[in-house]
Amino acid sequence: MPVASVNDMASVMAGTVPMMSFEAATRHIANIAGLNASSSSLQRWSPALGEEALRFEREEVVVGKPLESRMYLSIDGTGVPMRKEETAGVRGKHEDGTSKSREAKLAVMYTAERRDPETGAALKDRDSATFSCLVDSAAAASGSADPSDFARRLGREAQRRGLHDAGEIVVISDGAEWMRNTSDEIFGGGKVTFVLDKWQPRNAHPTPEDAIKGVHAVD
């Protein structure tokens, strides 16, 4: 296969394979790029592509400048279904203590200088967002002063985006303590404004009547 085709394949794989099954990715790649790749070849190449992405995230850190004086950081965590061997030793919520998923932690950094013409609400600026998502831990090792794996990753992305030089950092989250603690650890408390994700109070109090009565949504 020509070198150009190999590069094209890697680029298409990176944007396709994480979004669908290997079989569907095979058809999609053939349709959009005219490249033939069997599902078995995608399965072999995907781990190598993932390892290269991890290496880049950990080693290729070029300190950038903030796009605006106010930068936004959204943090969230969500359970990702895993095969049984991937959850071995992971404490879960099932009655027997097992887990069928692991938590991936997502950090999105962006600017929001645009305003909704009707409400005046801040809108994310186009092409300003970068995403960092990985299954790692936000807990530091017991008795260690070293940052957690997630804090290290968040710190590297913050360097790339120049958040340390921003005049203000707005952190949007669901209010979890680990999110606030990690943000304070990396940026300090002086220029960080914490904002509760709008979906959290909506889920807790779906209607004004529920808010008054203290009724919470059922999980």
pLDDT-based confidence at residue 204 (cuts at 50, 70, 90): low
Q: Does the structure show a pLDDT above 80 at 160? A: yes
The predicted structure's pLDDT at residue 113: 92
pLDDT-based confidence at residue 194 (cuts at 50, 70, 90): very high
pLDDT tens track for 74-94: 999 988 888 888 888 777 777
pLDDT tens track for 24-80: 988 988 887 787 888 888 888 888 888 888 899 999 999 999 999 999 999 999 888
The predicted structure's pLDDT at residue 122: 86
The predicted structure's pLDDT at residue 63: 92
Predicted TM-score (pTM) of the model is 0.76
Domain ranges within the chain, ordered by starting residue: 6-58, 70-196
The predicted structure's pLDDT at residue 206: 53
DSSP assignment of 134-164 equals: E----SPPTT--SPPHHHHHHHHHHHHHTGG
